Amino acid sequence: MRCAAILRVIVILLTLITTWYFAEKMYSNRDNMKSLRSIFEKKKAQFSCGNEKPCPDDYFAFKIISGAANVVGPSMCFENSIIMSSIKNNIGRGLNIALINASTGVVIKTSSFDMYSGDVKPLLEFIKPVAEGTLVFVASYDDPGTKLNDEARAVFASFGSSYSKKIGFRDSWLFVGGKGISTKSPFEQHIKNNKETNKYDGWPEVLEMEGCIPKKTN
Ligand SMILES: *[C@@H]1O[C@H](CO)[C@@H](O)[C@H](O)[C@H]1NC(C)=O
């Protein structure tokens, strides 16, 4: 009788102890997961423009995204601020271009040019006078190619573009170059509009490009 009572107490105690043990384990695990997650979230937010990798001190961080078909506008982030986007209401179909001072990182001006029903003249007036030491950011939206002429293509090529001569109707195109760079830019992506490979009905897929640009030192 007494023996049974003692046994019962022992069983109850054991049950309590194991329950406490597992509960404790689960809680601490959950806390670990939480702190792990917050570390990752902090890391991600820390990098300029939400980029995967940080840029060294003497570099500018950027991320640019082309338009999606004729539906979602492109966006450009430079040094953690959005300089062109639908929300900023400064983008449009065609070519979206931002000019940035390559030493200070100050945005000189931004504009968009309709390359389907527009005229190439305003584009030429925008890109031809660009001064030495200016970074040139380009993102396509819907149709960047129809009205591009040889003169405009040559100006982009002089900024370091490899594809400007081939841009056509509804291609996707991203480019970062500069006035006064003598080499081809490493920051360029291009997809041809091609019925066989298009992601959307009449358009190729969206392009996204991020990177670090060395600040120009004089
Ligand atoms: C960039 O900014 C510096 C300092 O304000 C200025 O001297 C230089 O002319 C600017 N360059 C361009 C291309 O705007």
Question: Tens digit of pLDDT for each residue in 140-167?
Answer: 999 999 999 999 999 999 999 999 999 9
Q: Residues 114, 142: contact at Cβ < 8 Å? A: no
75 and 162 co-located in one domain: yes
If asked whether residues 15 and 99 sit together in one domain, one would say no
Domain span at residue 40 reads 1-46
Q: What are the pLDDT digits (tens) for 123-140?
A: 999 999 999 999 999 999
Minimal-distance CA residue to ligand 1 atom 12: 101
Dihedral sign (CA 141, 145, 147, 152): positive
- In this structure, are 22 and 61 located in the same domain? no
Residues 118 and 22 in one domain: no
- Using 50, 70 and 90 to split pLDDT, how confident is the model at 195? confident
Residues 134 and 75 in one domain: yes
Same domain, 71 and 91: yes
Total domain count for the chain?
2
Query: What is the C-alpha end-to-end distance of the chain, expressed in Å?
Result: 95
Residue in the structure block whose two tokens are 């937010």: 45
**Beta strand ranges found along the chain (DSSP E):** 59-65, 75-78, 81-84, 94-101, 107-113, 134-141, 172-178, 188-191, 208-214
Residue 16 shares a structural domain with residue 101: no
If asked whether residues 37 and 53 sit together in one domain, one would say: no
- Looking at the fold, whether 75 and 99 belong to one and the same domain comes out as yes
In terms of domains, do 38 and 60 share one? no
DSSP summary character for residue 211: E
**What pLDDT, on the 0 to 100 scale, is given for residue 168?**
94
* Residue 71 region by backbone torsions, left for phi larger than 0, else alpha for psi between -120 and 50, else beta: alpha
Atom index in ligand 1 nearest the CA of residue 134 equals 13
Does ligand 1 come within 6 angstroms of the Cβ of 101?
Answer: yes
